[in-house]
């Protein structure tokens, strides 16, 4: 399979559609050395990006949290995404927007004089966890913890925050797992490497309070869907030992969509009716 750098197609970069293989940056780009980069992962269904504008708005917010300004408005980003989808010829696609500080006069930690770039690409991407939607994903428990809001901009979708996600997912895959679950700096259950987590007990849903990690757009959508069904949702701090008492578990995220979880470490869960129902309802919603 061709690498992501060696494909046919077009990528929107700094206001122009260019050949996929020509979408390159300089080795001394600030983002490569100091993680001054933010991004959004989005999915298009039947030619329409779900929650598109919310993603573009969050991209701007994340950039602001890293003290840089994207030189394109939300409306301009929306138009560029539409252009990329048309150029890709795809109706169902994963869309990646990324903004970063490039190469310029500064090559130390400070980079206020360096230009900010924006690129948008789209490609086909199937189920994030393979066959887990029917069997349930298997999660490892990461040795790393989600840090305190006093240490990093926890609500930004910033590239640097995914460093421990990569290492944790590698460790999980080496054990035959699909992903890893983080605890937070206090020891509470937090999230997976690229998805939020929900638990079910006695017909009610429990999900970690998003006070030190990204409050995902899919997470917010699913909470709304549950409440519309008069299902009680508890957004709260959850201790790891509580997982022994939960009956069902599922992950939510743009890439993950709604994916059941069958196992986390030594804890096991059934792929139950509530999880299946909300997963099917989400599939219908994004294609409506």
Q: How far apart are alpha carbons 256 and 240 in whole angstroms?
A: 22
3-state secondary structure of 248: strand
Query: And the tokens for 215?
Result: 């409050």
Instruction: Give the DSSP per-residue string, 184-230.
Output: ETTS-EEEESSSEEEEEETTEEEEE--SSS---HHHHHHHHHHHHTT
Q: How far apart are alpha carbons 13 and 10 in whole angstroms?
A: 9
Q: What residues have CB less than 8 Å from 273, skipping those under 6 apart?
A: none
Q: How far apart are alpha carbons 39 and 66 in whole angstroms?
A: 12
Torsion angle, alpha carbons of 56, 61, 67, 70, to 10: 20
Q: Would you give per-residue pLDDT tens digits along the chain (288 residues)? A: 679 999 999 999 999 999 999 999 999 999 999 999 999 999 999 999 999 999 999 999 999 999 999 999 999 999 999 999 999 999 999 999 999 999 999 999 999 999 999 999 999 998 888 888 888 999 999 999 999 999 999 999 999 999 999 999 999 999 999 999 999 999 999 999 999 999 999 999 999 999 999 999 999 999 999 999 999 999 999 999 999 999 999 999 999 999 999 999 999 999 999 999 999 999 999 999
Catalytic positions, written as ranges: 157
Torsion angle, alpha carbons of 270, 222, 81, 59, to 10: -110
Q: Is 212 left (phi over 0), alpha (psi -120 to 50) or beta?
A: alpha
State the pLDDT at residue 234.
98
State the pLDDT at residue 181.
98
Query: And the tokens for 92?
Result: 């169902």
- How many residues does the structure list for the chain? 288
Residues 97-118 as b/e (b if ≥16 CB within 10 A, e otherwise) read: bbbbbbbbeeeeeebeebbbbb
User: Under a CB-based contact definition with an 8 Å cutoff, are residues 66 and 156 in contact?
Assistant: yes
User: Under a CB-based contact definition with an 8 Å cutoff, are residues 193 and 180 in contact?
Assistant: yes
Give me the sign of the Cα torsion angle 227, 128, 17, 216. Answer: positive
Task: Specify the pTM.
Answer: 0.96
| DSSP code for 158 | B
The partner residues of 264 in beta bridges, in order of sequence, read 139, 267
């Amino acid at each position: 399979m061709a690498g992501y750098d060696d494909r046919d197609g077009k990528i929107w970069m700094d206001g122009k559609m260019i050949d996929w293989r020509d979408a390159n940056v300089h080795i001394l780009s600030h983002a490569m050395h100091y993680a001054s980069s933010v991004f959004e992962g989005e999915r298009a269904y039947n030619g329409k990006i779900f929650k598109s504008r919310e993603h573009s708005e969050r991209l701007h917010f994340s950039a602001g949290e890293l003290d840089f300004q994207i030189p394109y408005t939300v409306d301009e980003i929306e138009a560029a995404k539409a252009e990329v989808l048309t150029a890709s010829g795809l109706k169902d696609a994963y869309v990646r927007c990324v903004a970063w500080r490039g190469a310029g006069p500064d090559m130390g930690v400070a980079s206020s004089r360096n230009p900010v770039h924006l690129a948008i690409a789209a490609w086909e991407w199937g189920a994030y966890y393979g066959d887990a939607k029917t069997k349930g994903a298997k999660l490892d428990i990461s040795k790393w913890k989600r840090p305190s809001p006093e240490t990093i901009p926890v609500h930004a979708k910033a590239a640097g925050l995914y460093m421990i996600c990569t290492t944790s997912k590698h460790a999980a895959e080496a054990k035959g797992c699909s992903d890893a679950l983080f605890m937070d700096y206090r020891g509470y259950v937090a999230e997976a490497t690229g998805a939020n987590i929900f638990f079910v007990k006695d017909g009610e849903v429990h999900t970690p309070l998003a006070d030190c990690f990204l409050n995902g757009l899919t997470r917010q959508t699913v909470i709304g869907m549950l409440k519309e069904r008069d299902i009680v949702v508890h957004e709260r701090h959850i201790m790891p030992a509580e997982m022994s008492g939960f009956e069902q578990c599922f992950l939510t995220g743009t890439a993950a969509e709604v994916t059941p979880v069958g196992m986390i470490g030594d804890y096991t869960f059934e792929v139950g009716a509530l999880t299946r129902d909300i997963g099917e309802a989400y599939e219908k919603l994004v294609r409506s």
